Amino acid sequence: MTPVDLAALFSHPASVRILLDFWQVQTKNQNRRLSTRHDNSPSPYLSLACKANSPLALRILLMEDPDKKEALECALKMSAPECVDIVLRDGNIEDMGKVFQGMNLFHVLYSYSSCMTLKQYEAMVEITSILLRHRQDVNSVRPSRTFPLYSLLSHHGAGCSMAQKGPFLLAALLLLLKAGADPNVDEVLIEGKLRDAEHNTAFGRGPYSSAGHCIISNFHLLKANAFEDHLVTDHVDNYCYKCIELLLRHGADLGYLGKFRPCLESLLLPPNYYHSGTVLHSLLSTRSVSFINYPILRLILHYGVDADTKGSCCLPLPSIKVVYAINVLPLSLWGVLILGQVQVSHNQLSLSKVDLKHFLYIMKFMSQRDLVLAHKEFISAVAAMKSYVEAEDQKDWLNTELSEANPVMAEMLRGYEAATQVPWSLQRCCSHRVWVACRHHMGNIYSLDIPNPLRRVILSFF
């Protein structure tokens, strides 16, 4: 127990203020004393009590100081759970709309609070529980870009120590979902219908079409600080996988055709441009800045995403638009490669055998009709890229990258030809029809009242 706590325990508010003055001078470590009260301005002692993490002092000061708003703001920013609880319980804040310009307290906690240490991440979970206990709205969407669930999923400060901090983020996510947070809120759609100007939205993050789009869009940002450390990136992959699992258990629609921002900005794209597509389109577009995790790809394809869904992804090259997710994987990487936004050694291929494995795996979930159309789109886009490379007098190694001299490219073309040139067997056609009827969900396949040998035949194509 600190001296400030002792003074508060024995109900000496004057002593509490003096000790907080001393604590402030000591922690600032400055030669001159900072003023603690200004004319016609609210007392900062409530904030100092929160900064000193002294709930006892805060309770004493709240009895006579009317400025509850400042105390709540400071308690949230400093991630002080007991102080947040006391202000919400004893503060009697009449106009919550004035606190943080009307933003919900969950968004403030996940976007602006001080979260650096493990203790602060643990406090984030505790404060989430406190806010829920005080009936804060988990589905608040005004002002724009403050929906609590997406503010949490877009929190990417823990990337380089995800093994330690990830469990706390997952715990907070589970609390929100259990409290009824909707993983299918479309912030982009809401913002568009209400015609919110950029300056009227909350600062700190963009809007998202769904929880799935949100976690995938921030996937590469979580990896950004630890890209060279494979052990750390594995922890990030595991965290994202568990997030998607939790979202699926609480009704997330991964097949929703939403909007998402390009991973890399380009002058060739309109300002504030959004791609259109499912979570699969969004995931595969991140190949231009990061590697794709196979378990996450598999989870998405097994639980709700229709690989045939047509989106609209403009490459950072003139007149090239991709609608099929399978083609976004190679074409998005080649697009940024041609423009020099991603650097690759001239004796090293941009696409790997792992990318080829992902490409061929996605094919298994597509209908033959859409594979034929996707094949045509692929050939057309590659031809347009070659024309652009030749017109811009780019180096020969890029032409090699886009030709069958590239073994990965050659295997992709062979995969397309094998899947499209020979009509499917009746068994495979029927299996795919069952897959579509089961809404592209493995759980529905296993719940079918059919003999196990027949179920195995259906699953053998996926």
Per-residue pLDDT of the chain (462 residues; tens, 9 = 90+): 788 778 767 677 787 777 777 766 556 554 344 444 433 334 578 778 877 778 888 888 877 776 677 788 888 888 889 989 988 887 566 556 567 777 889 998 998 776 778 888 999 999 999 999 999 999 999 888 999 999 999 987 776 788 899 999 999 999 999 999 999 999 999 988 887 666 566 666 889 999 999 999 998 888 876 555 677 788 999 999 999 999 999 999 999 999 999 887 766 677 778 999 999 999 999 988 888 999 999 999 999 999 999 999 988 776 789 999 999 999 998 888 887 655 555 555 688 999 999 999 999 999 999 999 999 999 999 999 888 887 766 566 677 788 888 899 999 999 999 999 999 999 999 999 999 999 999 999 999 999 999 999 999 988
Q: Are residues 433 and 460 in the same domain?
A: yes
Q: Do 7 and 90 belong to one domain?
A: yes
Whichever domain contains 29, its CATH number is 1.25.40
The pair of structure tokens assigned to 341 is 């936004």
Percent of the chain surpassing pLDDT 70: 84
Tell which of 62, 94, 126 closes a domain.
94
Q: Would 69 be classed as within a structural domain?
A: yes
Q: Using CB atoms within 10 A of its CB, is residue 67 exposed (0-12), middle (13-18) or buried (19+)? A: middle
The token pair at 253 is: 């629609």
CB-side neighbour CA atoms (13 Å) of 61: 31
Same domain, 332 and 398: yes
Q: Is residue 315 part of a domain?
A: yes
The predicted pLDDT at position 325 comes to 97
Report yes or no on 108 lying in a domain: no
Task: Mark whether 5 and 89 lie in a shared domain.
Answer: yes
Residues 414, 433, single domain; the answer is no
437 and 370 both lie in a single domain: no
Strand ranges of the sheet holding 321-324, from the earlier edge strand across to the other edge: 258-260, 275-277, 310-314, 321-324
Whether residue 49 lies inside any domain: the answer is yes
Which conformational region is residue 48 in: left (phi greater than 0), alpha (psi within -120 to 50 degrees), or beta? alpha
Residue 441 DSSP symbol: B
Same domain, 281 and 259: yes
190 located within any domain? no
The reply to whether 216 falls in a domain is no
Per-residue b or e along 20-48, where b marks 16 or more CB atoms closer than 10 Å to that residue's CB: bbebbeeeeeeeeeeeeeeeeebbbbbbb
Closest CA to 325 of 373, 284, 265: 284
Domain count, the chain: 3
Burial 338-366 (b: 16+ CB within 10 A, else e): bbeebeeeeeebbbeeebbebbbbbbebb
User: Could you read off the pLDDT of 101-120 as tens digits, one per residue?
Assistant: 778 899 989 987 767 788 88
Q: Which domain holds residue 322?
A: 254-422
Judgement on whether residues 299 and 311 belong to the same structural domain of the protein: yes
Rounded CA-CA distance 247/298 in Å is 15
Same domain? For 345 and 457 the reply is no
Q: Are residues 298 and 414 in the same domain?
A: yes
> How far is it, in rounded angstroms, from Cα 312 to Cα 276?
5
Answer whether residue 177 is part of any domain.
Answer: no
**Same domain, yes or no: 320 and 336:** yes
Token pair of 356, please?
């080829």
Position 416 in a domain: yes
Verify that 396 and 267 share a domain, yes or no.
yes
CA–chain centroid gap for 29, Å, is: 39
Of 40, 69, 94, the domain-final residue: 94
- Domain closes at, from 94, 120, 138: 94
73: its two tokens: 């703001």
